A and B are shown apart, each in its own frame.
Chain A
Amino acid sequence: MAKKSIKLSSTSKNNIVTYAILAAIFIFVEVWTATGNISSLFKGLLVPLCTYAILAVSLNLVVGILGDLSLGHAGFMCVGAYTGAFFSVLFKNSEGPEWLRFVIALLLGGIVAGIFGLLIAIPVLRLKGDYLAIVTLAFGEIIKNIVNLLYVGVDSKGLHISLTNSANLNLEPDGRMIIKGALGITGTPNDSNFVVGFILLVITVIVSLNLINSRTGRAVMSIRDNRIAAQSIGINIAKYKLIIFTISAFFAGIAGVLYAHNINSLTATTKNFGYNMSIMILVFVVLGGIGSTRGSFIAAMILTALPEMLRSVGDYRMLIYALLLIIMMIANNNEKIRSFEKRISLKKLIKTKKENRGGNV
């Protein structure tokens, strides 16, 4: 008689492991902070850690689940960051609880970024592969370019927007500028902290995992695996692509809001919202294993924390990233290495042993 136990499907087991890892990370950091052993360097890293993890998990939806290479993820982050920071600065001195303002800022940043994701996904529907990658890259650069030229001010008459210079805003004497072109937004309240960031990460992971294991997720993965076959069995490719792009952009926007409320002055440079950042997030997703939610955030956290721990190799870190990226890709596509991996994989070993035992009885 076989022992009766609660049987979990492999996906549930997998998800439990993911949540357990998240819980372990949270407890570890909280204990570390509580005992006071944490260095100030690491304290400063906690929010970026969550930001990058959210970005990686959300990009994984597009790259890993939908199978489209998006190089404009930092653009959505930029939209979210500016929207959220704008809202917070606008209502900085108004009454009402601070947490409510931050929650609204987060939602607003996410929604506006999501709308951008939808707008970008519509033209992108017609494209695939390399063309899609280059168009998302172009969109990201356009967003960064425009944000750098954006001047927004507020006075008693309402909002004034200009794309040329601050003088064109025609502000009343009592008015104040909020977005100052290339100088960005200053004086954003520091609402972000590790707990909030971590809650957002957990929400992102929950949404991501549930989406992947839903009917929608399976439809999206069928598009990834064979677009034409998916279409022929009646899957609406346009609909699912729009869904994924919008959700992914929404979370990138939220990560942006988190990022903006962790720093004092927000500017859009190549480093934070440009093509480099998009690539960086892509590196997290690829090194974490394309399609793996768990891998995405673990890789993002390790690769953000590691260079800070190894300050001495700081200059070489990007070089090492680049090499890792190339080696991973070549190794993943090498027949010999693949078969070697299969032979040494632990799971396979256990399985074959079990099978052998089963055969003897």
Chain B
Amino acid sequence: MEFLSYIVSGISLGSIYALIALGYTMVYGIAKMLNFAHGDIIMVGAFTVFTISTTFGLPPIVGIIGSVIICTVLGVTIEKVAYKPLRQASSLAVLITAIGISYFLQNAALLIFGSGTKSFTSVVNIPMIKLFDGQLTISGETIATIVVSVIIMIALTLFINHTKPGKAMLAVSEDRDAAQLMGINVNTTISVTFAIGSALAAVAGTLLCSAYPALSPTTGAMPGIKAFTAAVFGGIGSVPGAMIGGILLGIIENLSKGYISTQFSDAIVFAVLIIVLLVKPTGLMGKKINEKV
């Protein structure tokens, strides 16, 4: 029964990683860059919900909608201001810029909200479920996280495969120049990708802080890096890969917390990343790209 409860909470944590990893993987697939600041958008999203619902006392749903809007605008703005001028630049330059953005967001939050840890009020209002005569308890947050994540993943898959902007995203990730020749507006497509990724980050941030209610300016950094691990694990650039990678990583983390050591879980997660990259650098579902001279 213990094992099952680790699995359930692992799936819940993994769904959050999956939501964040989707943002990484879509941006990587389309803009060919590692958006290091993605983790900090989670933090911005959570702080927005915190400000709207706890400080101003508005209903949580207003907080969530506000957070999604703010993160979307923030994501698109970051892309336009910082990443767009660097389209032709080396990947080192882009990565350093992304690190700069990440640092900027963290320190801006530090100045606005202070370094203390805020206690986040859960936005989920579902009672916990007790199964097998109370041997297995599943919290409302876990249920909400899994349900919301599944809905988002289905919606995203439908969006990518069956709508025009979604197909444009696929085309741009396949071959940017060819897509442009076919009349696809590459800049708009990249903006749409950043908008979706950031909106998902806002949702992920809210769910993350509902489940683990400690909020500080560095809240997003660790989940961000782990979600990137998940994206790499599943094969970066692949949307189903990010979902599977995220959930698997969540389960691995919770099992190692349960059976090996709580303090070692981070080291184990990173060890998984290293092993995956060594054994199968393209990830579980990634495509192999041959290098051209």
Measuring CB to CB, which residues of chain A are less than 8 angstroms from any residue of chain B? Answer: 63, 67, 69, 123, 126-127, 129-131, 133-135, 137-139, 141-142, 145-146, 148-149, 164, 228-229, 270, 275, 279, 282, 286, 290, 315-316, 318-319, 321-323, 325-326, 329-330, 332-334
Contacts and interface: CB of A to CB of B under 8 A. Distances in A.
Nearest to A68: B92
Contacts of A282: 96, 99
Contacts of A333: 85-86, 88-89, 93
B85 A319 contact: no
A323 B277 contact: no
B291 interface: yes
B261 A286 contact: no
Contacts of B108: 319
A142 B274 CA distance: 11
Contacts of A332: 89, 93
A326 B273 contact: no
A228 B291 contact: yes
Nearest to B231: A134
A146 B266 CA distance: 10
8 contacts: A127-B281, A134-B34, A134-B228, A142-B266, A316-B111, A322-B100, A325-B96, A333-B85
Contact of A69 (B92, B97, B228, B261): B92
Given A316-B111, A325-B103, A286 B91 contact: no
Contact of A146 (B99, B100, B267): B267
B270 interface: yes
Size bracket of the B interface? 35 or more
Nearest to B105: A322
A193 B96 CA distance: 33
A253 to B, nearest CB: 20
Given A282-B96, A333-B85, A130 B103 contact: no
A142 B271 CA distance: 8
A323 B93 contact: no
Contacts of B99: 279, 282, 325
- Interface of A, helix, strand, loop or mixed by DSSP: helix
Given A228-B293, A282-B96, A334 B85 contact: yes
A322 to B, nearest CB: 4
Contact of A138 (B33, B95, B263, B273): B273
Contact of A141 (B28, B270, B293): B270
B103 A322 contact: yes
Given A145-B267, A325-B100, A333-B86, 10 more contacts: A126-B278, A127-B277, A134-B232, A135-B277, A138-B229, A141-B267, A142-B270, A142-B271, A318-B106, A326-B82
Contacts, number: 122
Contacts of A135: 273-274, 277
Nearest to B32: A130
A200 B289 CA distance: 44
A321 B106 CA distance: 12
B85 A141 contact: no
Interface string B279-293: 001000000000101
B100 A131 contact: no
Contacts of A123: 274, 277-278
A326 B95 contact: no
Closest 9 CB pairs of A and B: A325-B100, A322-B104, A138-B270, A322-B103, A326-B100, A333-B89, A130-B34, A145-B267, A318-B107
B264 A329 contact: no
Given A325-B99, A333-B85, A131 B104 contact: no
B184 interface: no
B179 interface: no
A286 B96 contact: yes
B101 interface: yes
B225 interface: yes
A326 B267 contact: no
B251 interface: no
B221 interface: yes
Nearest to A318: B107
B82 to A, nearest CB: 6
Interface string B107-143: 1101100000000000000000000000000000000
Contacts of B95: 69, 129-130, 133
Contacts of A323: 100, 104
A131 B263 contact: no
B274 A126 contact: no
Nearest to B269: A138
Nearest to A229: B293
A270 B215 CA distance: 17
Nearest to B91: A129
A329 B107 contact: no
Given A145-B263, A149-B264, A164-B261, A326 B104 contact: yes
A322 B96 CA distance: 10
Looking at A67, A322, A334, the one whose CB has the most chain B CB atoms below 10 A away is A322
A295 B163 CA distance: 51
A328 to B, nearest CB: 8
Given A67-B92, A131-B232, A333-B88, A145 B264 contact: yes
Given A323-B100, A323-B104, A333-B93, A145 B274 contact: no
Given A322-B107, A323-B104, A330 B91 contact: no
A138 B274 contact: yes
B281 A131 contact: yes
A139 B263 contact: no
A357 B24 CA distance: 57
Interface in B6-47: 28, 33-34
A329 B86 contact: yes
A196 B94 CA distance: 38
A241 to B, nearest CB: 15
Given A279-B99, A282-B96, A333-B88, A319 B107 contact: yes
